[in-house]
Amino acid sequence: MRRRIPFIVFPLAVLSILTLLAFSNDRRKFNLSQQLNIFNTIIKELDLFYVDTIAPDKLIKNGVDAMLSRLDPYTVYYSEDDADELKMMITGKYAGIGSIIRYHTDKKTTVIAEPYDNMPAAKAGLKCGDALLTVDGIDVKGMSTDSVSNLLRGEPGTKLKLEIERPGVKKPMSVIIERASISLPSLPYYGILHDSIGYILFDSFTENCAKEMRRAIVDLKGRGAKSFIIDLRGNGGGSLQESVNIVNLFVPKGKTIVTTKGKIKQANEEYKTTREPMDTESPLIILVDGSTASASEILAGSLQDFDRAVIVGSRTYGKGLVQTTRSLPGNGYLKLTTSKYYIPSGRCVQALDYSHRKSDGTVQRIPDSLTNVFHTAAGREVRDGGGIRPDVEPKSEELSTLLFYLMQDMTIFDYATEYTLRNDTIAPAATFEISDADYELFKKKLIASGFSYDMRSSKMLKQLKEMIKFEGYEEITKDDIASLEGKLQQNLGHSLEHFASHIKRLIGDEIVKRYYGQKGGVVYNLRDDTDIEEAFKILSDGERYKKILAPQQNEDI
C-alpha cells in the first residue's frame, strides 16, 4: 500500500489543479460576458432615454478609444473612415495631393508647408506659404489640419478645386489638382560624403524598403563608397519583417534576429536571416536618437548584438512591443499589441511597463538599476529596458527655450516665404548661408511681431522665491532676488544675438527647402551635425572602429 500512495495522490493533485483552472476560466468568461452585457445595456438606455439624440457610432468609438488608452499607445481601433490612415502607416502610400500642410496660427488656416517633388501639388504650381481658403467650396479657415487633410485625400484620378491666398499676390487664386497615389520614400536621400562614405537617410520601415536599401548600397558602392552611415534618427519603425531583411544585408544567413513572445502560441515566432548577405565587411555606423523606435531598434540593436556596426547618437525610444492587425465588423480594424520582441543577445528594449501604471494613470520608465546585463556576440555588455544605448554618445547641444518657441512659431516660415519673393535663386544647399544683412531683417521682423517666450530661468526663479518664502528667508534675500529678477528680464535682442548661429540654421533650413526640396534640406543639415562629425572621426580611424566593437578587457589591480 505504501508504494501505491504516491501514484494515487499525484493524479488527484493534478485533477484538483485542472478543476481549479477550469473553474477560474469559467468565472473569467462569465465575468467578461456580464461586463459586455452591461456595456450593451448602457448604450441601449442612452439611446432610448438620454435627453439629446446620441450618435451611437461616435459614442462607442469614444468608449473603445478610452478603454484602449488604458492598455498602451499602440493598441488602436480604426473605424472604416480611419482605415486609410492605417493603410498609409503600413505601406507608406495614400491618395492625395502630395504635400506637407501646417496650421498657420496668425492666418488661422492651413498652409502648404512643403509640396513633394513631382507630386500633384507641385505639378499644379502650389508653393510653400500658399494659404488654403476653400477645398471644393468648403471653407477651411479655422479647420484643423487633420480635417483639411481628409478633404484633400480621395480616390486617385479624382479632381479637387482649391482657392488659395498666395503671399505677394493681391487676389485669391483658384487651382485644380488631380489626386494621385502618393508613395512616401523610405529612403528620402542617400549620397557620398567625404569621397568614400555612403550616407543613407532612412525614414520608415514600409513595404519593400529592404529592396530600396539594397539598391542604395549597390549604387553607393558603384560611386566609390567604402563605408556606410545609416541614419535612423527620427525613424519610428514599421514592418518587423523588413527590419529583419535589412539586417540580413549585413549578417550571414541562418542567424536569429528577432524572437517574439506573447500570450498565445501564434504570437511566439522566430525571425531568421534567409539569404546570403551582401556586405559583412564594410565599416558601418548607425545613427540613432530618442525618436528611433520599434523596427529601427531591431535594426540598430541586432547589428550591435552581432558587433556588425557602431551605434552613434543618443539612447533610443525603447519600444519592444509588437502589433498585429485584426479585421473587425463594419470594415474596421484593431491594431493591438500581441507580443514583446527580443533581439539576438536575448534582451528586450521595452522602456515602459504599461501593465503597472501609477494611480494617476502615468507610466514610468524602467530604472537603469533594474535592467539586466546581456552580451553581444563578441562579449560586450549591453542592457535590456530603456532602448538601445549607443556605443558612442557625442555631446549634443541642448536647444534653448528660445529655439523651441521659434520652431513652433510661424515667423521663420513667413520670413522664408518673403525671402523667396526677393530672391529668384540661392547658392547650392551644401554651401548656402544666411547673410548678416538677411539676419538683421529677420530680427527686426521678429521683434516687431511682439514675439515672446517663457524663459526657464524665470520659471525656476519664481519657484525659488516660493521656497525662500516658505522657509522664512524672504526678507534677508529681498534685494538679491530683486537684482536677479532685473538681470533676467527678457531681452529678445540679446537672445537673438547669443543664439544667432542656431537661429540662422533654422532659417537656412526653411529657405533651402523652398528651392531644393526635401533632399536639399537634408544636404544643408548634414553640416554642423555632431553625430555625423563623430561618425566621420570613427570611420577615418580603423583602429578605433575595431576597438569599439571589441570586448572590454578587465584590468587586474
117 is catalytic: no
Asked if residues 294 and 237 have their Cβ atoms less than 8 Å apart, the reply is yes
* Burial class of residue 154, CB neighbours in 10 A (0-12, 13-18, 19+): middle
Q: Strands 227-231, 284-288: parallel, antiparallel or unpaired by DSSP?
A: parallel
Return the number of other C-beta atoms located less than 10 Å from residue 103's C-beta: 17
- Measure CA of the first residue to CA of the last residue in the chain; give whole Å: 64
* Cell output for 228: 556606410
Q: Which of 99, 302, 319, 391 is catalytic?
A: 319
Cell numbers found for residue 308: 556588425
Q: DSSP code of 392?
A: B
Buried b / exposed e over 397-433, threshold 16 CB at 10 Å, is: eeebbbbeebeebbbbbbbbbebbeeeeebeebeebe
User: How far is Cα 323 from Cα 412, in angstroms, rounded to an integer?
Assistant: 39
User: Is 319 noted as a catalytic residue in this protein?
Assistant: yes
29 catalytically annotated: no
Q: Which three cell numbers stand for residue 280?
A: 559583412
Strands (E), 303-400: 310-313, 321-328, 332-342, 373-375, 381-383
Q: Are 77 and 64 in contact (CB under 8 A)?
A: yes
Calculate Rg over the CA atoms of the chain: 29
Of 227, 354, 243, 329, nearest to 293 by C-alpha is 243
The DSSP line for 210-221 is HHHHHHHHHHHH
User: Catalytic residue among 227, 239, 243, 294, which?
Assistant: 294
C-alpha cell at 181: 497615389
Nearest one of 546, 552, 531 to 309, comparing CA atoms? 546
Q: How many CB atoms lie within 10 A of CB 1?
A: 5
**Contact 258/229 with Cβ under 8 angstroms?**
no
Q: What distances in angstroms separate CA 250 from CA 12, 25, 282, 287, 324, one per listed residue?
A: 55, 47, 9, 16, 27
- As to burial, measured by CB atoms within 10 angstroms (0-12 exposed, 13-18 middle, 19+ buried), residue 213 is buried
State how far the alpha carbon of 148 is from the alpha carbons of 136, 145, 370, in Å. Answer: 11, 5, 46
Cβ-based neighbours of 211, under 8 Å, separated by 6 or more: none
Active-site option among 130, 231, 289, 305: 305
Q: Are 275 and 301 in contact (CB under 8 A)?
A: no
- Positions marked active-site: 294, 305, 319
